[in-house]
Amino acid sequence: MAVHHVAERQVVITGIGVVSPIGIGVDDFWSHLKNGISGIRAIDLLPHSPVPRGIAGAVVDFDPSRFTKTREQKKAIRVMCREIQLGFAAATLALEDARIGEGGVAPERLGVEFGANLMLSPPDDLGEACSAAVDEETHEFRYDRWGDVGMPKMFPLWLLKYLPNMPACHIGIAADARGPNNSITLDEASANLVIGEALRVIARGHADVMITGSTGARLHEVKSIHARLWDQLANFDGPPAAACRPFDRNRTGQVIAEGSGVMILEDASHAENRGARIYGRILGAGSTCVSIPGGRGDTRKALALAMKCALADAGLAPHEIGHINAHGLASTASDIAEAQAIHDVFGDYASKVPVTALKSFMGNAAAGCGSLELAASLISLHHGVIPQTLNYETPDPECPLNVVAGRPLETNNLTFLKLNVTRMGQASAIVASGA
């Protein structure tokens, strides 16, 4: 097998699959983006929601069995938690969108790079087993009873439902992808990181096609409690759809969500030979981690360094970027730090380059957010526009950015920068271009 030099191989996007609060599949997703329709609403997926006013970005009408093709896949769905199901469904849609059917790519030249969060068991999964190990008289949990009495009450394949590497495993098995297979678990930074890894895998000549994406669900019995404890959550006195307000002066915090986005990354010559449709190109990637004493992240410095790395990797200057697809968390401090980072890197151009923040449509799906937001820019550029930011009404003088609002913005510059960062200061950036 000939191994190509990095410079000889260009990487294109030939398929997109989305399972999101604003639609399942590219057409529904684009319809919501084009028409400014939010997917943030009052939810009923959690019986007792710890989030303010019970609002979130939920995937509605999701039936994972719709995305299975064989008896084995239907059985496998039962051993997937919701996050894995979302990722499996998005990958199925992406492969269909790329017109890659069974045997369409040599199995050993097809790989998977996937991002996910740590996956937690809901209390119901552990309830019966824990109750069985409780002493009937003292009502205390007995550790010495767990092995003999408690554990046998658990679903035998319980662990497989909650391992963050399982999305890549299930997708690899279903697609017969025998090439490189890797998982990254780094919260909101995950999507850009797996895209960067897939870019390098193809550039090294180790695969021709990579199924690349991420999945996340903060809309979860335990994770939603963590969000309430750790994060500034939106507590907006108005319609749920108006709650997430990135860079707006009246923002009150982020909105939790769920979802998955998957892209098919492909060697350009391989895509051309099979007559594939091209959504765009991946031009460069960068990442960094910057923390400060106390274990908190330095969002400003982390994002600035990640942007510089990605731009250098793409061989581009800031003024060549057509828009920035921001992390746009909608929390008070994070948005200010992100705006400062953009000014640190872009200088005078920072107040001119269009900025869009798409959590305003979907909320924060943790590891799943970056891939959905990247897909939104690619799909919108396919139609000649930059997607708008919802709910941006009152500019914040501490976030002096050119936020796209009101309607999608027509553009001829198809090159853009995608940013994401975690609360721990792990930042990632992708430079891409539409086709």
CATH number of the CATH domain containing 58: 3.40.47.10
Domain check: are 99 and 227 in the same one? yes
Answer yes or no: is 2 within a domain.
no
Q: Is 324 helix (H, G, I), strand (E, B) or coil?
A: strand
Give the DSSP H or E segment for 97: helix 82-97
**Tally of CB atoms within 10 A around 64:** 20
Flag whether pLDDT at 165 surpasses 60: yes
Domain check: are 152 and 35 in the same one? no
Answer yes or no: is 343 within a domain.
yes
Domain check: are 149 and 177 in the same one? no
Handedness of CA 236, 238, 243, 245 (dihedral sign): negative
- The whole-number average pLDDT for the span 327-341 is 98
**pLDDT value, residue 8:** 53
Q: For residue 199, what are the CA distances in angstroms to 145, 287, 382?
A: 50, 14, 21
Domain check: are 76 and 145 in the same one? no
Answer yes or no: is 3 within a domain.
no
When the pLDDT of each residue in the chain is averaged and rounded to a whole number, the result is 94
249-276: pLDDT as tens digits: 999 999 999 999 999 999 999 999 999 9
**pLDDT value, residue 407:** 97
Domain check: are 381 and 262 in the same one? yes
Flag whether pLDDT at 433 surpasses 70: yes
Flag whether pLDDT at 93 surpasses 50: yes
Answer yes or no: is 394 within a domain.
yes
Answer yes or no: is 295 within a domain.
yes
293-323: pLDDT as tens digits: 888 899 999 999 999 999 999 999 999 999 9
Domain membership of residue 135 as a residue range: 123-158
Domain check: are 290 and 313 in the same one? yes
Domain check: are 423 and 335 in the same one? yes
Full-model pTM: 0.94
Domain check: are 103 and 75 in the same one? yes
Grade residue 1 by pLDDT with cuts at 50, 70 and 90.
Answer: very low
Answer yes or no: is 128 within a domain.
yes
Domain check: are 426 and 334 in the same one? yes
Question: Phi and psi (nearest 5°) for 14?
Answer: -115, -5
**pLDDT value, residue 45:** 66
Distance from C-alpha of 135 to C-alpha of 138, rounded to nearest angstrom: 6
Bridge partners, residue 56, by sequence: 41
Q: How many CA atoms lie within 13 A of 46 on its CB side?
A: 28
Q: How many domains does the structure of the chain reveal?
A: 2
Grade residue 49 by pLDDT with cuts at 50, 70 and 90.
Answer: low
Answer yes or no: is 335 within a domain.
yes
Domain check: are 227 and 105 in the same one? yes
- The whole-number average pLDDT for the span 127-150 is 91
Burial 4-21 (b: 16+ CB within 10 A, else e): eeeeebbbbbbbbbbbbb
Q: For residue 91, what are the CA distances in angstroms to 84, 185, 417?
A: 11, 18, 23
Helices (H) and strands (E) in the chain, counts: 13, 18
Answer yes or no: is 6 within a domain.
no
Distance from C-alpha of 417 to C-alpha of 421, rounded to nearest angstrom: 13
